[in-house]
Amino acid sequence: MTDEPITFSDVIDSIVPKAAWKVGRQYDRWGFGVEDASQEMLCWAYGDGAARIRRWLGGEPQQIARLHWALVDVGRAVGEKEKAARCGYSTDDVQWYSPSLVEGLMPLVLDETYDGIDGAGEADGKRQKRMPNEGGDLLAYIVDIRRAIALCKDWVYETLIGSAPGAAGWDEAIQEVLNRLGGETPFVGRRRVMSNAAAQFATKEQEAP
């Protein structure tokens, strides 16, 4: 006997409360509690996030973990703003990662010869070029992502090293790495985030003759 598929109502009645509890416990001391987190998540679920939620529920298998972390990210984004206001710092100074950023840097992350030094990774005879800094240190991002992968289960690395974007399990593997990095919202670290375009440029530069 198989479990019944999760419905949109199940998301509202069960997944949102669990995600809100997780976020509220983290930010309650800064005036953003469980009820506040729940309200933010519900607004997102019925508004901007509705289409994504239905897409994740309609997949095979359903992407319940991704849905849960998306809700957590929604709550944390607001919770971090409340925390920043009370602690006197700007959320602009907080680092975060997006799926496309992690995916864009993956060729360099998985290239064991890449260490951020000009000329590294010359096994194919091509000299690698430095990435112009755009508010972030390329190598720092690479190191962060490599560490995150090392903390994931073996299937994550095996999927990333053995397949490509669009392959079965790829999106789930990227999401697992994101979870280890702290999610998609700005609440981890203090370096400014590199833009997705910058990540793609960095990868292309490594492949240029």
How does pLDDT run across 168-190, given as a tens digit for each residue?
888 888 888 987 887 665 433 33
Contacts of residue 204, Cβ cutoff 8 Å, sequence gap at least 6? none
Any idea of the CA torsion for 172, 108, 101, 177, to the nearest 10 degrees?
30
Distances (CA, A) of 19 to 22, 70, 186, 205: 5, 9, 17, 40
pTM of the model: 0.57
Pinpoint the alpha helices (H) of the chain: 8-10, 16-27, 34-46, 50-58, 64-87, 99-110, 138-151, 154-162, 170-181, 196-207
Domain ranges within the chain, ordered by starting residue: 1-89, 90-209
At position 128, the amino acid (one-letter code) is Q
Query: What is the model's pLDDT at position 4?
Result: 84
Query: What is the model's pLDDT at position 203?
Result: 46
Considering the chain, what percentage of its residues have pLDDT values greater than 70?
72
Which residues in the chain land under pLDDT 70? 1-2, 91-96, 117-137, 183-209
Q: Sort residue 125 into left (φ over 0), alpha (ψ -120 to 50) or beta.
A: left
Q: What angle, 0 to 180 degrees and rounded to 10, lies between the N-to-C axes of helices 64-87 and 170-181? A: 20
Other CB atoms within a 10 A radius of the CB of residue 195 amount to: 16
